[in-house]
Structure 1
Amino acid sequence: MKHQVVADYLRIIIDQNKFSSNTKLPSEIFLTKKFSVCRETVRLAIKQLEEEGLVYSVKGSGTFYNKEKALSLDGSKCEKKYRIALIIQGQDRGANSALIKAVKETFQMKDVDIRFFYTDNKISNERKCLTSCKSGFDGIIIDGVKASIANPNLDVYASLYNKNVPLLFYNNYYAATDYPKIIIDDVACADLLVKALVDKGHKYISGIFFYDNYQGVMKYQGYVKALLKYNAVFDDKYVKFLISDNVEKKENFEKVIWNFLKTIPRCSAIVCCNIMIYEVIKRVLSKHNLNNYSIVCFDYSSSDYKEEGVTCSLNPGSVIGNLVAETIIEMIEDPNYKSKDYSRLMEPMIYFGNSIKQL
């Protein structure tokens, strides 16, 4: 339910800021834009938290959290065997919801106190989250922020590692480090998606990728490798590189995509880096009454993939959630975890829909 996603986000914001003197929560306008929901949905989420005594509203001023209540919830840590942090980017809400649900379910059975942190894909926020985890945590699970560019937070990671706090990455990681990671084989995934297009006669295949995270980089590398392998056209003009922050500026994002497509008139198919790009592509094509493109997508994280009919790799949010939860506990309980390889490369799961036209 949409209001539950907003409520979960606010819980995490409260938990992250419970020691701050500023108890004001993000505005309704901010939340409606962030989650693409109506005000009624946001108000339903706030009402739920109000009924729990966690927040209260002041007419004309906004919504605030009850600091005393937030701090009282912190007392549960002494009853648990471990305390583990989960640091989330927060951009793909579908993938995050499935992963969070799976992590919660696993940790409930393992007597673990789980604390969630949102970076909102901001490097400075990541540093704040890591700083909050410097004491009192037995392990940390992280989705890296803008992981393919120079990251100034590696010193904090090194400090935690030197304190023997196990670190486990999923999705995005930092190549300059040797911390274990659980990721999908995006190169193999690209091969399957591009082959599906080529098998239907497509030769001029464009790709739209984020270049500021390693997932996007690996997807691009796999795309190029597959184009060459299956004798499709490889030309830089068919590739559009974006940064993940582009997603936040929807109107400008759509304009960028449309201007790109206009430069490649021979293009008959589009490879989308993730569901966020796929949704923008759909809006752009609908706005301009274009239905002649074939589209495939990496990391489709919504449950409506069959109804949508899109050929895609399915984002295994719940599978990764269970796996990272089980793995971090194994690492915590293993005194020699630093000498072992807890990384995992997962095979992609492909759904073949009807989004590819025969040429």
Structure 2
Amino acid sequence: MKKKAPKYVQLAEWIKEKISEEGLERGEKFYTEHSLTQMYCVSRQTVRKAINLLIKEQVLESRQGSGTYISSPMHIKKRSSKIIGVIVTYFNEYIFPSIINGIESVISSNGYNMQLASTRNDVENEARALRSMLDSGVDAFIIEPTKSALPNANKNLYDEISNKDIPLIFLNSYYPEMDFPHVALDDVRAGYLAVKHLIDNGHKKIALCLKSDDIQGHLRYKGAIAAANDSNIAISVENVLWFTTEDIKYFEEDSNRMIRYLKGCTALFCYNDQIAAKVIKILGEKGYNLPEDCSLISIDDEKQAVACSPALTTIAHPKELLGIEISESIFRLIAGEKCDNVLFEPELIIRNSVKEYNK
């Protein structure tokens, strides 16, 4: 017959459960001996023996004249919620439904649920989503950064995630100052392939239309400039139109701006298919005949790319495959394994929007 554990050992186990249930973190002050005697209806001697045992196990630490604290390193893990917090900029449009389908397929097959939030690329929305998920006790985070090219407005919340050792992986981009892994399209390579394709088709005067508040725009610019440099072609700053998230809704209203940046160019590289579709509409209304008057290439290979006239030559985004990869990565992090950054190799999809330029 198995001998029953001494009372103080049982109490030590109860205390561990309480630390876990309340999500107490390293450095937090723990209950006093008097409080514990009342909570568990045991003697002070039993409490002291249980605390001494937990100090030996490095669960608690005693600070003379101050009290008892949760120890560092922390050996008690918070009880699993079986929930992964997923924060994306958008979730019901463009490439995002496919990404989320990939994420959900892996999360559900591992017996977890997904808590989903959209920021609409707004830092205040991101802060609310982070705070809500931290308070609800999600096990891990998959996050598409908001305005990733700008200084991180929610660094305090990301620091809290880091200090609590909650696994986190970035989707599509990353905050340069944050030390979390990311899974994304290789945006530098994508920008390179896009502009190289234009150059290979005889275009030497190329305009760029790129997003300034997300780091993907800067990486795609880097790739575009590298392709031009490798071919001894200069892309003038006068032909580089930078726009923000807030500018998108005014794109068609401010159509003359696009025409100014296109001046003298025979081809245009757009940030993504969504923007390229708007540009096609603007140019059509201004009397341009595409691709004869201006060749066009973009990134993502979204449904709009085929629906456009002309159909867009574009760089494919991995979409659902990316969602699957990032979910598998988050479970490796949950298991305590190390995860490196993953960059998907871009693929050029040739359609009708790029015409060979022979002049």
- For the Cα contact (< 8 Å) 1:306–1:353, is it kept in 2? no
CA distance in 2 between counterparts of 1:167 and 1:94 reads 24
From 317, 323, 326, give the equivalent of 2:325: 323
Q: Which residue does the alignment assign to 1:106?
A: 106
> CA-to-partner distance for each residue in 1:239-269, whole Å, 9 max, x for gaps?
001111212x2xx312434323235431110
- For the Cα contact (< 8 Å) 2:90–2:118, is it kept in 1? yes
Q: SS state of the match for residue 209, structure 2?
A: strand
Letter in 1 for 2:178: T
Q: Which residue does the alignment assign to 1:134?
A: 134
- For the Cα contact (< 8 Å) 1:88–1:142, is it kept in 2? yes
Q: SS state of the match for residue 141, structure 2?
A: strand
- For the Cα contact (< 8 Å) 1:207–1:240, is it kept in 2? yes
Cα offset, 1:300, TM superposition: 2.9
Q: SS state of the match for residue 90, structure 2?
A: coil
Letter in 2 for 1:311: T
From 254, 257, 264, give the equivalent of 1:256: 254
CA distance in 1 between counterparts of 2:151 and 2:81 reads 36
Superposition CA RMSD, Å:
1.9
Q: Which residue does the alignment assign to 1:87?
A: 87
Q: Which residue does the alignment assign to 1:162?
A: 163
**Greater fraction helix:** 1
CA distance in 2 between counterparts of 1:115 and 1:91 reads 12
Cα offset, 1:341, TM superposition: 3.7
TM-score, normalised with respect to structure 2? 0.72
CA distance in 2 between counterparts of 1:121 and 1:240 reads 20
Q: Which residue does the alignment assign to 1:62?
A: none
CA distance in 1 between counterparts of 2:238 and 2:92 reads 28
- For the Cα contact (< 8 Å) 1:139–1:328, is it kept in 2? yes
Bigger-Rg structure (1/2): 2
Distance 1:263 1:116, change over 3 A: closer
Cα offset, 1:92, TM superposition: 8.0
CA distance in 1 between counterparts of 2:115 and 2:91 reads 18
- When structure 1 is superposed on structure 2, of 85-94 and 204-213 the one drifting more is 85-94
Q: Does 1:274 align with 2:285?
A: no
CA distance in 1 between counterparts of 2:149 and 2:188 reads 16
Q: SS state of the match for residue 208, structure 2?
A: strand
Q: Which residue does the alignment assign to 1:201?
A: 202
- How many residues in Structure 1 have an aligned counterpart in Structure 2? 273
TM-score, normalised with respect to structure 1? 0.72
CA distance in 2 between counterparts of 1:121 and 1:262 reads 27
Q: Which residue does the alignment assign to 2:65?
A: none
Letter in 1 for 2:256: W
CA distance in 2 between counterparts of 1:183 and 1:116 reads 19
Equivalent residues in 2 for 1:1-359, closer than 5 Å: 82-90=82-90, 93-135=93-135, 136-247=137-248, 249=249, 252-291=250-289, 292-302=293-303, 305=306, 309-334=311-336, 337=337, 340-359=338-357
Letter in 1 for 2:348: I
- For the Cα contact (< 8 Å) 1:207–1:271, is it kept in 2? yes
Letter in 1 for 2:107: F
- For the Cα contact (< 8 Å) 1:273–1:299, is it kept in 2? no
Q: Which runs of 5+ in 2 are unaligned?
A: 1-79
Letter in 2 for 1:90: Y
